[in-house]
């Protein structure tokens, strides 16, 4: 029991150093034509958090997402360097409408310069990364509305 408690303390301390905000307080809801889907989110809203993203993670559960927040709309660029699993990348405008979806984006294990980049074709202020296939299974599409509870 002592080892279990010590392990929990270590996990809590290490989790605090990662820099992401608590998953329990922040959610994103995506409203489709048929249903609304809710995700717990980690927020990346500064350059160091956005650069790290989901790199080097072994697993990311299907009820979680990473939300990248930018101060103003632009054309952010994403790559899959040091990723261990594929993702769907959802580009969201300042009006909270989905403007673009890149599905089943594969990890990149080569030199960073060789990794393909996903660049938003439209100005966006938010980007949501979810597990690969999430958008297809739930029929999420361009034009759907995203609600943020931050």
The CATH code of the domain that includes 112 is: 2.60.120.1140
| pLDDT for the residue numbered 11 | 37
The answer to whether residue 1 sits within a structural domain is no
Domain housing 24: 20-149
The answer to whether residue 13 sits within a structural domain is no
Q: Is residue 76 scored above 50 in pLDDT?
A: yes
Percent of the chain with pLDDT over 70: 71
Chain-wide mean pLDDT for the chain? Answer: 79
The answer to whether residue 15 sits within a structural domain is no
The answer to whether residue 32 sits within a structural domain is yes
DSSP the chain: -HHHHHHHHHHHHHHHHH-PPPTTT-EEEEE-SS-EEEEEEEEE-SHHHHHHTTTT-S---TTEEEEEEEEEEE--EE--BT-SS-EEEEEE-TTSBEEEEEEEEPPB-S-GGGS--EE-SS-EEEEEEEETTHHHHTT--TT-EEEEE-
For range 96-117, the mean pLDDT: 84
The answer to whether residue 12 sits within a structural domain is no
What would the pLDDT profile of 16-74 be if each residue is shown by its tens digit? Answer: 334 444 444 799 999 999 999 999 998 877 676 666 666 657 667 789 888 989 899 99
The answer to whether residue 2 sits within a structural domain is no
Any idea which of 64-68, 119-123, 133-137 has the lowest mean pLDDT? 64-68
- How much is the pTM? 0.78
The answer to whether residue 7 sits within a structural domain is no
Count of domains forming the chain: 1
The answer to whether residue 4 sits within a structural domain is no
């Amino acid at each position: 029991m002592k080892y279990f408690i010590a392990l929990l303390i270590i996990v809590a301390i290490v989790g605090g150093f990662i820099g992401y905000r608590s998953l329990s307080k922040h959610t994103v809801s995506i409203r489709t034509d048929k249903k609304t889907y809710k995700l717990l989110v980690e927020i990346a809203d500064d350059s160091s958090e956005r650069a790290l993203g989901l790199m080097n993670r072994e697993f990311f559960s299907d009820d979680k997402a990473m939300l990248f927040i930018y101060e103003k709309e632009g054309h952010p660029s994403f790559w899959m360097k040091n990723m261990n699993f594929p993702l769907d990348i959802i580009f969201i405008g300042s009006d909270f409408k989905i403007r673009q979806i890149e599905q089943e984006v594969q990890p990149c294990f080569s030199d960073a310069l060789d990794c393909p980049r996903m660049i938003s074709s439209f100005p966006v202020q938010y980007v949501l990364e979810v597990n690969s296939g999430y958008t297809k299974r739930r029929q999420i599409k361009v034009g759907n509305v995203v609600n943020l509870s931050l």
